[in-house]
Amino acid sequence: MKTLSENRCFYGTQGVYTHASSATGTDMTFGLYLPPDAADGPVPLLWFLSGLTCTHENAMTKAGAQAYAAEAGIALCFPDTSPRGERVADDDAYDLGQGAGFYVDATEAPWAPHFNMWHYVGTELPALLAKHFPIDPDRQGITGHSMGGHGALTLGMGLPGRFRSVSAFAPICHPSDSDWGRKQLTAYLGADTAKWAPHDATLLMRETGLDAPLLIDTGTADQFGDLLKTEALAEAIATRRQPAQLRLQKGYDHSYFFISTFVPDHVAFHAEALWS
């Protein structure tokens, strides 16, 4: 692992690091914010999974979460959204290939050799953080935006017992029934829709639910609202009687202005669960 940068930030440290990943077969970069409390021992960890076209840097620099994480005494991890490099398959479209990993383990050519983001975020990177940083592996929460919200929800339900809290900003909720999903799931996982189910939050909610508190915020003016399928997840939550807060925020769109407005609520939501 190499340190690319470390900056003092709200009395803690915002670092950026790179390492060779066995999951993706590439070098991967991630951001990690350690609050001042980390100087005294292990702290809880909140994951922030970013959306289409993003890198580790977008949420790290635009969401404004560090100030609230410092106050709450929790670390923040900002992984990249996909493997990258000249050897890594890509596509001319913004919603497939590099920058659009969808947090799945691809089984189809040409994606399978490198696009293993489920294993990377779910297994490899957590082990790396626990080994090298003062992180408490038993106190983890997860959040994300858009494609990253999809990842937060599916990892939260697909890894029961891992996360004490789950939240999302404008998540892709039902990719099996959306143009933001069918294309990518077919490309990465093949045409057999049964293989898609572990990566569809609505289907997972219907089948298994979530063993942690859940908070979702979506803007009523989100320009991608038809693709998110928020209503389908809301119906699944209601049918299962899943404890959850699903809030429609009047006039907000899909941007980081929306995220930065409500990130204090999300950090506080996770902090309550992580410190309980």
Positions marked catalytic: 146, 222, 254
Among 222, 174, 188, 24, which Cα is nearest to 96's?
188
d(CA 220, CA 215): 16
Given the DSSP bridges, would you call strands 12-20 and 2-9 parallel, antiparallel or unpaired? Answer: antiparallel
What residues contact residue 39 under an 8 Å CB cut-off, 6+ apart?
none
Q: Give the strand pairing for 135-144 and 43-49.
A: parallel
**Buried/exposed code over 216-227 (b: 16+ C-beta within 10 A; e: otherwise):** bbbbeebebbeb
- b/e string for 242-265 if b means 16 or more Cβ within 10 A? eebebeebeebebebebbebbbee
| DSSP secondary structure of 65-122 | -HHHHHHHT-EEEEE-SS--STTS---SSTTSBTTB-TT-B--STTTTTT-BHHHIII
Tokens 């799931």 locate to 185
Residue 182 buriedness (CB in 10 A; 0-12 / 13-18 / 19+): middle
